[in-house]
Homo-oligomer: A and B are copies of this chain.
Amino acid sequence: MTKETEERLARSWEIFRKFLITKDLRVTGQRRSIFKAIFALPDHFTAEDLLERARKIDETVSRATIYRSLPLLNESGIVREVDVGHDSKFYAVNRRSENFKAQVICVDCDKIFEVDAPFMEWYGKTVSENLALDVKSQRLQVHAECPGKREEKTCPKGN
């Protein structure tokens, strides 16, 4: 683990810890283990992925605690939900100062790629102004197929 990664992790943990304290919640071992596990996972993961990884760190972590923790991690901004509609929800680490991201979901290999969609900020404003609504969140998803790649099961960004 690089020094930068370590520092980022420490900063994130500090954020989550304070979030818990502010909400009068306890800083437990399981919450800490789940937090750590997130940063050892690939970009997008499910509750089940997280359970599996967290148990490698602390075998007492249960599925229930994973499901009880994910809303907290989301609320605190550590992760963000990426709901692609089918099956279970995905989660991703929420990197600070990120532009708005759209998800490109490959119908061949089911992988999720995140691409910048800066115009969504403008779109949010447009909705706010025209409909007099207070925009809370937006999502933009594109389901696409890699032409000619279906047979080989290879994807543009390399599997």
Contact = CB atoms under 8 A, between A and B. Distances in A.
Contact residue range for chain A? 20 to 34
B136 A124 contact: no
Given A142-B138, A143-B137, A145-B136, A104 B131 contact: yes
Interface string A126-159: 0110011111111111111111000000001000
Given A104-B131, A104-B133, A143 B147 contact: no
Contact of A142 (B119, B124, B144, B156): B124
Given A83-B85, A85-B83, A85-B85, A135 B131 contact: no
A138 B136 contact: no
A144 B127 contact: yes
Interface in A103-130: 104, 106-107, 115, 117, 119, 123-124, 127-128
A143 B136 contact: yes
Interface of A: 83, 85, 89, 104, 106-107, 115, 117, 119, 123-124, 127-128, 131-147, 156
**7 closest pairs, A vs B, by CB?**
A133-B144, A83-B85, A134-B145, A137-B143, A136-B143, A134-B147, A135-B144
